[in-house]
Amino acid sequence: MFDVIDAFLGIPTALIVLSVLLFWALIAYSIHRFVVPALCGADGRKLGKFEAEVTSQIALAFGLLISFNAVWLWDRADRVRGAIFDEAAALSRIVDDAEDLAATERPELTARRDAICHGIKTYVDHLIEKEWPTLADSSTDRSRPESLTELRAILRASGEDAMREALADAEAARDIRIRDGLEHMAPSRWGVVFLLAVLLLISIGALHGEAPRGRKLALTLVGLAVAFCFAVLFVSARPFVGSYALQPDELRKIAFRAGAER
């Protein structure tokens, strides 16, 4: 199921918005054309008096729950974005310390710097070229890659504790980036919000059961509001999928620096 969702979220933003608008337009039309006449009768008087407070309560519940979902998605995106910057910053510290090794122009320190920068370049190239694309389809291997194991060995042999601590920070940030980036919201949370949105439209239709023209306008406006809410959530539903997917720009800078130092 998640593969189908990811494929949908991967299409251009304009198509996502259009698809959501058409979906809710179909639901609103079905409620206007079939559901409300079945509940209220042809003249809209079969149901009797329908209190506006019912609609207000459903709208309140819908607003609260969709807000909770939005906060969950945006907080997750912030954590992933922060992890990317933390990972790049930690790797950058290693490159900075490697540059300092060659300041004395001693051949053995220069060789050590070159080995460290080569290890950083190899590892970061792996992150950019191999690991990053897998984040979009949730197929990322969370185990430690071979290039990272080799880099750990290089730093262990160098005896530079500060670099080893920086690499540990980079590993921790990588774990957060993968774990949170691949996390999906529970389907039940989407399902409850969807059902509340449908109930909201039905209550709007019933509230205007005796006025077909007013019912059309009310369902159109509320349907648009609901559609826009879902469209915003869908566009930001996955940090590494879609038109606004996070890119490894900071890691590319690290790869360029590490390659230039060799």
Neighbouring residues of 243: CB distance < 8 A, sequence distance ≥ 6:
12, 13, 235
Q: Which residue has the tokens 């608008």?
A: 21
- pLDDT of the residue at 257: 92
Q: Is the residue at 1 inside a domain?
A: no
Going by C-alpha positions, the residue among 29, 41, 17 that lies closest to residue 201 is: 29
CA 135 vs CA 85, 89, 180, 201: distances in Å: 17, 20, 11, 37
How many domains is the chain built from?
Answer: 1
pLDDT on residue 158: 87
Considering the domain boundaries, does residue 122 fall inside one? yes
Question: d(Cα 196, Cα 192) in Å, to the nearest integer?
Answer: 6
Q: Which string of b and e fits 121-137 if b means at least 16 CB within 10 Å? A: bbbbbbbbeebbeebbe
Question: If you ran DSSP here, which 8-state letter would residue 160 be given?
Answer: -
Say what the pLDDT of residue 63 is: 97
Kindly report the number of other CB atoms within 10 A of residue 146's CB atom: 11
Q: Is residue 91 part of a domain?
A: yes
Residue 196 lies in a domain: yes
pLDDT (tens, 9 = 90+) of the chain, 262 residues, equals 667 888 889 999 999 999 999 999 999 999 999 999 999 888 877 877 788 999 999 999 999 999 999 999 999 999 999 999 999 999 999 999 998 886 667 788 888 999 999 999 999 999 999 999 999 988 899 999 999 999 999 999 988 899 999 999 999 999 999 999 999 899 999 999 999 999 999 999 999 988 999 999 999 999 999 999 999 999 989 999 998 999 999 999 999 999 886 5
Domain assignment of residue 29, given as a range: 6-260
pLDDT at 262: 56
Does a structural domain hold residue 120?
yes
Q: Which of 231, 131, 230, 138 lies closest to 180, judged by CA? A: 138
